[in-house]
Every structure is written in structure tokens, then in C-alpha cells.
Amino acid sequence: MQPGRILYYLLLLFLAACQVGAPTTGAPEASATHPLTTSTPADLAPTPTSPPTAAPTPVEPAKPADLPRPLYEMEVDVDYAAHTAAVKQQVTYTNRTGENLPELLIVVETMYYPGVFQLESFTWTDGSPIQSYAWDGSWIRLTLPTPLQSGQSIQFVIVYKLNIPAPVQSPSTRPVPFGYSARQTNLVDWYPMVAPYQTGVGWLAHLPSYYGEHQVYESADYVITLRVVGNSTGIVVAASSPDLGDETVHRYQMDAARTFALSFSPEYKVLTRKAGAVTIYSYFFSFHSAAGEKALQVTAESVELFSRLFGSYDNLSLTVVEADFLDGMEYDGLYFLSNGFYNLYQGTPGEYLVAIAAHETAHQWWFGQVGNDQALEPWLDEALCTYSELIYYENLFPEAVQWWWSYRVNYYAPTGAINISIYNPDGSATPYLTYKNSVYLNGAHFLDDLRKQIGDDIFFAFLNDYAEKMDSQVAGGQQFFDILSTHTSSDISDLINIYFK
């Protein structure tokens, strides 16, 4: 490669694979939970990244699987040319926690962008205004008239406008998917959502860091009616689920999803392909046709492979969108792949467009299906997705396995405990590299060593069981190792000592 091309590649690797943070700096410290201990209030005491809440009243435990998931019903008018979105959102929240809740914590991620979120009304479904709420940074604390009993539901309506921001230009701030560029507009983490609640801990809501993901998502159901309005014409819409509407009104319905993402552009070209019963969509810009077709192929191949090894992919579709920024990011049913990888695509399996497409597809299992606390235990999704890249190569392009180990992982000589948080608890001078090398790359080494010790059959039976047992839940290291222990009696204490704090 020419020197300039090498530098560009290194920049992409610095940004690659779902390590985007909100546009803010100076996040407080937080510590991850030890993988072999249960998260208790003593282990995870309320801090600025784990907001305190009024003491709940213990009651007979509910059975979450038997109760409705949170339901988000939204009517959305997007003016692509004016960079605005008008939203009427009704939330139906059922208490599945097993405790009586005196309040709800509502996360409004777009509040991190000055002037973006404009609240117009906050009411009960009968139209009466809600007055018993207070802003706590980017969170709304809604004090309920009476504690919400376990198994009971509550509904409210939020009407708001989004002034969609332009890309952040500061070189000290990482690019983020939310916002618009010259070629696309992306709505991600764009709607208020009720934070997940963990018994004995409280609301799982965290502050952002410069790198990594900080949100924790509860599986929810979505019903969305979308219109593209104003002077916007010829806009192509990519979404987390198939469009059930027509040319004027887009309609989406998605169940048991962590997120719902949308991307708009007048320049998208679209290819589709089947992976079993799943429809794969690839949205890309016309000057990247070959790379867009390859992204489609890798995504389809990964869905077929991971469905066989990890368990079925339950959504009707999966969409890959060429990102008009140098980063990648996963959402449920949709992921963004950095345009830098499209620029550098040379038609070989041993390159980053292929590896990261497999990585982001794996997030549909290790994020979408099995959730985790991405701020405090990011290894539970990122290490598994990085290692899933190797699994893809082993099964489909074994000739590229050596390239993957040499250039994706071992080139960086990764070290460090893999169960660190996104908040740089070790005070490293290069926190991003410490985080990436520990969580992603050394995490892949841990999983490879674990696989070698217990054998392929047990390893993949465990992953399949872990995905099934933790489906639609928020998993922690405790659950990971508890389920592993049901598959093997092998003593892995040496691996714990090497790879974990």
C-alpha cells in the first residue's frame, strides 16, 4: 500500500467496529462487575453512571416472559431537506420487574445534542398534562401518582420535535451516527425510552464516554408510521424492519427489538438477497456498487452461519447501510458500515469490509438477542462479536484466517483485563487503545483459549444455550459463566486469572 493509504487504514481501524460514543467528554469513572460474582447493590452502588432511585417495595416476583414488553407507538414526520422530525410517541409500559415502582426513568439520548430535542407536550393518554416529572440531565424522572404494581401497565404520550444536527466537526470528538451529512440522515437512539430496571440494582442508565456504547436496552415492541414531508423528494428509507406501507406512508412493526433505527438518503442504491427466510438489504452509494454487493453477501452468509451455530435469527430482515462517516455501529435489525471500508475494498476476503460486516452481523445475537450492560460489561457483546469474525473466516474463507489473526488482532499485541468498563478505570494515557485492545482483541484471545480448552462441540453448544436462555434479557458475566458451567466441568480458573480483573 502507499503510505497515505496505510495511514487511512490505520485511522479506520482506530474507529472501526461499533465503538462510537456520544459527543461529550469527561465521563466519570465506573467499574465493571467481576465475571464470577453476582451484581448486587454493594457491587454496583449508585454512582453518576447508575442513577439512584426511590426505594422500591418488594413484592412477589413477576414472570417477565408472561407480561407484555414495552410498546413504543410513533407517528413521525421527517423533513429531510429541513433536517427536522416531528414525533408523537405513545408509550405503554408494563411493570415486569417483580417490584412496585414509584417512578419511571426515561432516557432521552438526543438531549446530549444542544437544541435538538424540543419537548412540546407530555401527557397521559386522556390528554391531561403530566406535571410530576423532572429533568435529570438527559433523563426524565417521572414520579407516578401511585406506585406501579408488578404486572400493571401505564401509558403516556410524548410529543416532540427533533432538530437533526449536522455532523460534529471537532477533531477531538468521534463521529456519531445520529444526524445528517451531505448524503444521508440517520435517526438512531432518537426516541425517549424507559430504561431497563434490574432488581436489587435499579435503573440501568449511564452517562456516555468518549468511546464505546453506554446505553442498556430492554427488548421492546415498535409500531411506527413515517412520512417524509416538505420539499424532500426521492428519499429512500432504510429501517430496522421491512416497510409495510406504500410510497407515501411508511409503516413498520418490530417485536422484541432493542432499538429501531432509520436512515434516509436520495442517493441510496439497494440490493436484496435471501438468507433462509430472512431478507437482507444493502443500502450503499452508487460509486461503491462492488463493495455494496460484497457487504450484502457477507451479511447474508453471516446470518446463515450464525443461525446455525448460535441459534435462529428471529427478525424478518437485516439491513446494512453504508455510513457516510468513518465508523460503524450496530442497531437491532440494521447496522452501519464505515464508508472507509467501501473506499478500500479490493475484492478479497482478507480485508476489513468483510471482517467488520461479519462483526456487526454477529451483534444481532450478541446485542440484539442477548442484551448486556454495554457501559460496565462491554466484553459480553464486543468480544463475542470480534471472535465471531474468526468463526466466519474459519467456515467460509479459511485461507484468510491467518490474515485475521495477524492484522486484525495480534498486530496490536493486545493485553489487559477484558472486563473493564468504557470509563477508563485504569487511567490509561491512551484510553481508547486500552479499551479496544482489552475488550475486543484480548477478549477474542480469551474466547479462543476457552474454546481450545473445552473443545468445539461444548463451546458452540454453550453459545447456543447462552443465546437461548438469555434471549430478550440483559445478561451479565454471572449468567455467562453460570450457563458455561452447565456445559463443562473444566477448571478455567487459569483463564479467569489471565483475562479478568
| pLDDT single digits (tens) 446-492 | 999 999 999 999 999 999 999 999 999 999 999 999 999 999 999 99
Q: How far apart are CA 236 and CA 269, in angstroms?
A: 9
Are the beta carbons of 277 and 332 closer than 8 angstroms? Answer: no
pLDDT the model gives residue 12: 55
E-state strands within 149-228: 153-163, 179-180, 185-187, 193-194, 197-198, 202-203, 220-228
Distances in Å between the alpha carbon of 500 and those of 36, 484, 485? 10, 16, 17
pLDDT the model gives residue 19: 55
CATH number for 310? 1.10.390.10
Task: Indicate the angle between helix axes 3-15 and 352-362, nearest 10 degrees.
Answer: 10
Q: How far apart are CA 408 and CA 401, in angstroms?
A: 10
Residue 5 DSSP label: H
Q: How far apart are CA 418 and CA 443, in angstroms?
A: 6
pLDDT the model gives residue 67: 95
SS (H, E, C) 90-147: EEEEECCCCEEEEEEEEECHHHHCCCCEEEEEEEECCCCECCCEEEECCEEEEEEEEE
Domain count of the fold of the chain: 1
Q: How far apart are CA 151 and CA 401, in angstroms?
A: 50
Q: How far apart are CA 42 and CA 132, in angstroms?
A: 30
Which three three-digit cell numbers place residue 76?
Answer: 413521525
Domain that holds residue 370: 3-499
Q: How far apart are CA 297 and CA 349, in angstroms?
A: 11
User: Which residue, among 436, 460, 445, 421, has the nearest Cα to 499 in the 3D structure?
Assistant: 445
Are the beta carbons of 22 and 177 closer than 8 angstroms? Answer: no
Q: How far apart are CA 183 and CA 324, in angstroms?
A: 7
Task: Indicate the angle between helix axes 379-396 and 477-485, nearest 10 degrees.
Answer: 50
Strands of 268-275's sheet, edge to edge? 268-275, 278-285, 317-323, 334-338, 329-331
Q: How far apart are CA 380 and CA 476, in angstroms?
A: 7
pLDDT the model gives residue 57: 41
* pTM of structure: 0.90
Which three three-digit cell numbers place residue 224?
Answer: 411506527
Q: CA gyration radius for the chain?
A: 22
Are the beta carbons of 114 and 191 closer than 8 angstroms? Answer: no
Q: How far apart are CA 358 and CA 352, in angstroms?
A: 10
Which three three-digit cell numbers place residue 51?
Answer: 442513577
Task: Tell me the torsion sign for CA atoms 353, 358, 360, 361.
Answer: positive
**Which residues does the chain have with pLDDT short of 70?**
1-65, 168-174, 425-426
pLDDT the model gives residue 431: 84
